[in-house]
Chains A and B, each alone.
Chain A
Amino acid sequence: MKKYVQTTAAVSNFSSLPLYQRFSIPDLLYVGYGLLIVGLVLVSYVLGAFNLLPHDPQQINMELLMAPPGTAGHLLGTDFMGRDIQSRLILGIQAYFLPGLLAIFIALSGGIVLGVLAGYRRGYTETVITYFTNLVDSFPRLVLILLVIAAFKPDIYYIMMVMGVTGIPAVANAIAGKIRVLAQKNFIEAAIALGLRTRVIILKHILWYNCRALLIIQATLGMGEAILLETSLSYLGFGVQEPTPSWGNMVQSGANYFMQGNFWPSTAPALAILFTILGFNLLGDGLNNILEGKRSR
């Protein structure tokens, strides 16, 4: 039997529903799973940072080469040099966490500044910014990163800075588009006519109330993307360099032994990558549905 209940707000609409009424079951699962992954990543980061690992991740053990998962003391087994995979996996998150945050910070702050300028100033400023974002957008990201690596050194921070810069256009376009829609609806004009200061209009009404969902979503998706990018670069040998573990170079070094039947050294980090990126993307998706109501109801 279906039950129909009227909420206290006599006329309700999606955006006016309190947050807890906006959930649908899949969204809840998405966000729950995403938050679980975020929690795991945070815990792993802290464990790695304080060196609270089951084994020394760099210690080479010549007697236990390629130990399969479940070996006593080594839950996920060891790799071709006898190093503990579980410890390396946990330590591997160090490669992503701060650099990923840096990339997100650059993309969001640059995107906000350019987006607001383009959307609010219009005219000449908008043209220049549009050309800039199109230029950045049209340049293949990997090629740009390889250029930077060639010019400087293969350092994860350089890579993430490039990733942040190349992430600016998406954020800038989204914000400028949002402002354009608001301006079209003469909401900004009305706010000026009410006597609000430009600063208040931009910071409070545009960025906080109208763009916060968008920014949160961009941030979560950005983290997933950062991991993916580092992985592909590590696989090519340009990412985090051995012996410092990252999930990308663990997959790469383990892949050489894959066909010999020793699948775990590369499978464990590959699965970690899969579930983590899935987590961040689902978190972004779920938040999008809950905050913005994109799902058609």
Chain B
Amino acid sequence: MTAPLLKIDNLRTYFYARRKQAFVRSVDGVSLEVGRRETVGVVGESGSGKSITAMSVMGLISSGPGVIGGSIHYASDKVQRNLLDGLENFVQLEQSDGRVMAVSKDERGWQKASEKLMAGMRGREIAMIFQNPRASLNPYLSVGEQITEAVRLHGGITAAKEARERALHWLERVKIDTPHLRYNTYPSGMSGGMCQRAMIAMALSSEPSLLIADEPTTGLDATIQSKIVDLLQELKSETGISTLLISHDISVITRLSDRVAVLYGGAVVEYGPARQLLDAHAELKHSYTAALLASVPNEQKIRARANLQAIEGEVLDTINVPPGCRFYARCNRITPEIRDKCATLHPELKEVAPGHQVRCWRFVN
């Protein structure tokens, strides 16, 4: 078996809350794998660290201290490297009880070394699409010209005319009608869905190996969302691109993912095949996943006029992370035997079925 395309290991990305003089542990030990031709969905509430994980992979974290540890192994046919290779030399951590209490980071050195490692990666190997697509496009440049720019940057095509043809081809592939007319349209003249299509065209025009889709459907109409998902699905089967799909919308995750990682409080709490993990009736699952699934409206619930089940409590305070299980305060499946452990010890990911891991004391014997 070949190595996975992307292997994130124990990634930690912290920010510093100056007023509180404390670290915001946005991503605190995320480990993930994206195989070739595979779509991995990352799901979780707001503030669970989904987007920060994606931005860490792209090296887009700009406020300090940012990424402080872990490794991101990337292995496509053309490039094999650890995107955080040797960067730990720029960081010194002071820990007590396994918790990081102080970070000193040579930000300049890190940035320089990181840029070196990211050279030729952004756009060419890893492409990214964002939520709120219109804001990601240059408002003063027509959509077609922006795609042409991407093509000329990565596609190895320098002739203006050829690049234009290529851009038109991609506009057509993402199913924008009358691409010749749309080529000259500015982002403000297109709907959100069309802007997202244009972003997808721009991202895929360089034929990258990995696509990071950060909430690609958020902020779009429900019908448009569905169409964008269809498009992503189609392009995925056509090009065989691997995707790291980030969303808080379980229905989007369900439709696109092969594997799913559930993030809570900056760590993966459950990771496994989409079918097993998203099956609401399966018993082997983290109580957070169960609660997430229970909060999704479906036809039966609507027919029965049942209230949607919200998850009680608040999202984890990533500044004062409790020592025990991060979901302890909101969990409804704690049994008396494990209560003490839940409150004081952070559980490890434990394999409960082949390829299916859960971070919960209930599955640790």
Contact = CB atoms under 8 A, between A and B. Distances in A.
Q: Which of B58, B139, B185 has the most CB of A within 10 A?
A: B139
B184 A13 contact: no
B60 A10 contact: no
A15 B136 contact: no
B141 A205 contact: yes
Nearest to A291: B140
A11 interface: yes
Contacts of B116: none
A134 interface: no
A122 B139 CA distance: 22
A210 interface: yes
A185 B136 CA distance: 7
B153 A192 contact: no
Contacts of A186: 130, 132, 135-136
A12 interface: yes
Interface stretch (A45-53, A147-155, A193-201): A193-201
Given A9-B181, A9-B189, A192 B122 contact: yes
Nearest to B124: A195
Interface in A1-57: 8-16
B139 A195 contact: no
A190 B188 contact: no
B185 A11 contact: yes
A189 interface: yes
B60 A205 contact: no
How many interface residues does chain A have, given as a range?
A: 20 to 34
Q: Which of A13, A186, A190 has the most CB of B within 10 A?
A: A190
A195 B128 CA distance: 10
Contact of A189 (B60, B140, B190, B206): B60
Given A186-B132, A194-B150, A194-B202, A16 B185 contact: yes
A187 interface: yes
Interface string B124-149: 10011010100111111110000001
Contacts, number: 85
A20 to B, nearest CB: 15
B186 interface: yes
A124 B136 CA distance: 26
Contacts of B149: 196
Interface in A181-218: 185-187, 189-196, 205, 209-210
Contacts of B142: 16
B154 interface: yes
A187 B136 contact: yes
A192 B138 contact: no
Contact of B186 (A10, A13, A122): A13
Nearest to A9: B185
Contact of B122 (A9, A15, A194): A194
Contacts of A210: 138-140
Contact of A195 (B123, B138, B140): B123
Given A9-B181, A16-B185, A195-B124, A190 B153 contact: no
A194 B125 CA distance: 10
B230 to A, nearest CB: 23
A16 B188 CA distance: 8
A112 B75 CA distance: 41
Given A190-B136, A190-B137, A195-B154, A9 B202 contact: no
Nearest to A8: B181
Interface in A120-155: 122
Contact of A187 (B55, B122, B138, B202): B138
Contacts of A196: 123, 149, 153
A64 to B, nearest CB: 58
Interface in B190-204: 190, 199, 202-203
A15 B202 CA distance: 21
A8 B135 CA distance: 25
Interface string B97-141: 000000000000000000000001111100110101001111111
B188 A15 contact: yes
Contact of B128 (A185, A190, A209): A190
Contacts of A185: 132, 135-136
B74 to A, nearest CB: 15
A209 B138 contact: yes
A195 B125 CA distance: 10
B360 to A, nearest CB: 35
B191 to A, nearest CB: 9
Contacts of B62: 122
A10 B181 contact: yes
Contacts of A11: 185, 189-190
Nearest to A210: B140
A16 B136 contact: no
B135 A187 contact: yes
A15 B60 contact: no
Nearest to A194: B123
A9 B60 CA distance: 36
A205 to B, nearest CB: 5
A114 B58 CA distance: 28
Interface of A: 8-16, 122, 185-187, 189-196, 205, 209-210
Given A11-B185, A186-B136, A187-B135, 9 more contacts: A10-B181, A185-B136, A190-B128, A190-B130, A194-B202, A195-B122, A196-B123, A209-B138, A210-B138
Interface of B: 55, 58, 60, 62, 120-124, 127-128, 130, 132, 135-142, 149-150, 153-154, 178, 181, 184-186, 188-190, 199, 202-203, 206
23 contacts: A8-B181, A9-B185, A12-B189, A13-B188, A15-B140, A15-B186, A15-B188, A16-B142, A16-B184, A185-B136, A187-B138, A190-B130, A190-B137, A192-B58, A192-B60, A192-B122, A193-B127, A193-B128, A194-B123, A194-B153, A195-B153, A195-B206, A205-B141
